[in-house]
Amino acid sequence: MQPGDRYFSLEFLSTDYRSPKDNYYSFYLEGYETTWISPGATTTWSATKICAPGPTPCICAAP
């Protein structure tokens, strides 16, 4: 991201392509969210919030 950017998107990738519809992803934007975001089997998620400048730790998980 560049200074002044306010929106971003996350893209998830799995190395298991046998059953892509069964790949689920979750993530947590530290300092912005109170719960994990689970877009399901969708591989792209776009931020709907305006983010403050500076680092935003993002913790990702895939079960």
Tally of structural domains, the chain: 1
Residue 53 inside a domain? The answer is: yes
Q: What pLDDT, on the 0 to 100 scale, is given for residue 30?
A: 72
Residue 49 inside a domain? The answer is: yes
Indicate whether this model's pTM tops 0.95: no
Q: What pLDDT, on the 0 to 100 scale, is given for residue 46?
A: 61
Which amino acid is located at 31 in the chain?
G
Radius of gyration from C-alpha coordinates of the chain: 13
Residue 33 inside a domain? The answer is: yes
* Structural domain boundaries enclosing 25: 9-61
In the block, tokens 């776009």 appear at 46
Share the mean pLDDT of the chain: 67
Residue 3 inside a domain? The answer is: no
CA distance 47 to 21: 22
Residue 51 inside a domain? The answer is: yes
Q: What pLDDT, on the 0 to 100 scale, is given for residue 35?
A: 81
Residue 28 inside a domain? The answer is: yes
